[in-house]
Amino acid sequence: MKGLVYKSTGNWYDVHTDSHEVYKCSIKGKFRSLGIKSTNPVAVGDYVFFEITDEKEQRGVITKIEPRNNYIIRKSVNLSKQSHILASNIDYCFLFVTPSNPSTSSLFIDRVLLSTESFGIDTIILFNKIDSYDKDDTDYIEKLYKTYTSIGYQCLKISVKQKTNIEKVKKFMENNVSVFTGHSGVGKSSMMNALDSNLNLKTSEISKQNEQGQHTTTFAEMFDFNNGAKVIDSPGIKGFGLIDIEKNEIGGYFVEIAKLSTHCKFNNCLHLNEPNCAVKSALEANDISESRYVNYLSILNDDENNFR
Ligand code: GDP
Ligand code: ZN
């Protein structure tokens, strides 16, 4: 049987078949997770093959995972060598940004984008709560909007509260798997509730789950919405960090820096003080955003590369 993993609790995985049957599955013996060292060999979002062990009780055993298109991985809090796969096969990451209550810095945005670029996940920036902006908020968001649209990111100015541009968000989500990220209080749960769902019970479960402390990374879950949208909710995704990104790789995930770097004199240019650096030239000519460059430097100099 083939199915999609909707929920993982550590020992059991809820696997949904195409015909919407749900099987509780375990893993057979030592299971190799496609060569990745992780505490969970199977992740929410995985397509798996399983054998039915008990048809009446709807139990099964997962025997194989389909190769993943992408996945979000996070270092385990306790076991330094191990990591945890938070979700897989993600079509869109929606990054929620608000100028105040809470405020979102451009550094936070750039760290998330660096992560999602490294994971190979398309990211859409949602500037939420536009109904409540004062002059400073508007100016701040306009600047961010220009910066990120100019380098190719899809950006939408929205209000979940007043339903402004929510249909556009839904259009992106239709028949796709999404994850939401952003600081606490930016409107992620409100968005979940604004999406059409016949699963009211489920959304209340989400909020309960969120309250149970941020370190419960094990309880990821996928939710279905009426337009075929799927959202993977995992407490860990709200602050997913970087894994194994070398200093000389960071520039490759800043899309505009990556493009320019082919014109730098040295192919290992870090765009600091090297001669004939195309990135520095572009910066001086105002062709790239100063905040992006400053954040690039800040991440380059941050040994931890973590942002919780
Ligand atoms: P989460 O922590 O990201 O899940 O944020 P919540 O969805 O819990 O929202 C935090 C607060 O922001 C709640 O009081 C929401 O009612 C409020 N909120 C969400 N979206 C909007 C919006 O578009 N405009 C305004 N003014 N408030 C909003
Ligand atoms: Zn350079």
CA 296, distance to chain mean position in Å, is: 19
Band the pLDDT of 35: cuts 50, 70, 90. Answer: low
Which residues are within 5 Å of ligand 2 (an ion), measured at CB?
264, 269, 271, 277, 279
Distance 145 CA to ligand 1 centre (A): 20
Please tell me if the CB atom of residue 132 comes closer than 6 angstroms to any atom of ligand 1.
yes
pLDDT of 217 higher than 50: no
Q: Is the CB of 131 under 6 A from ligand 1?
A: yes
Q: Residue 235, preceding bond cis, omega within 30 degrees?
A: no
Question: For the purposes of burial, counting CB atoms within 10 Å of the CB of 20, is it exposed (0-12), middle (13-18) or buried (19 or more)?
Answer: exposed
Does the pLDDT value for residue 202 go beyond 50? no
Between residues 151 and 306, which one has the greater pLDDT?
151
pLDDT on residue 216: 43
pLDDT value for 212: 47
Which H/E stretch holds residue 155?
A: strand 154-157
Closest CA to 50 of 21, 14, 87, 25: 25
CA 96 to ligand 1: nearest atom: 3
Q: What is the pTM of this model?
A: 0.91
Share of the chain above pLDDT 70, in %: 84
- Please compute the mean of the pLDDT values over residues 226-252 and round it to a whole number: 83
Ligand 1 contacts CB of residue 190 (under 6 A): yes
- State the residue for tokens 């902006």: 133
The yes-or-no verdict on residue 103 having pLDDT over 80 is: yes
Tokens of residue 7, six digits: 């929920």
Rg (CA), the chain: 21
Most confident of 76-90, 179-193, 206-220, 236-250: 179-193
Residues 6 or more apart whose CB falls under 8 angstroms from that of 276 comprise 264, 265
Ligand 1: which atom is nearest the Cα of residue 180?
3
| pLDDT tens-digit readout, 143-154 | 999 999 999 999
If one compares 210 and 28, the residue with the highest pLDDT of the two is 28
Ligand having the closest approach to the CA of 277: 2
Least confident of 26-35, 210-219, 235-244, 269-278: 210-219
Nearest-ligand number for the alpha carbon of 261: 2
Query: Residue 242 Cα, ligand 2 centroid: separation in angstroms?
Result: 23
Indicate whether residue 176 lines ligand 1 (CB < 6 A). Answer: no
Query: Comparing C-alpha atoms, which of 158, 174, 161, 157 is closest to residue 231?
Result: 174
Mutation choice for ligand 1 from 189, 190, 204, CB with most ligand atoms inside 8 A: 190
pLDDT for residue 127 is more than 70 = yes
Residue 296: is its pLDDT beyond 70? Answer: yes
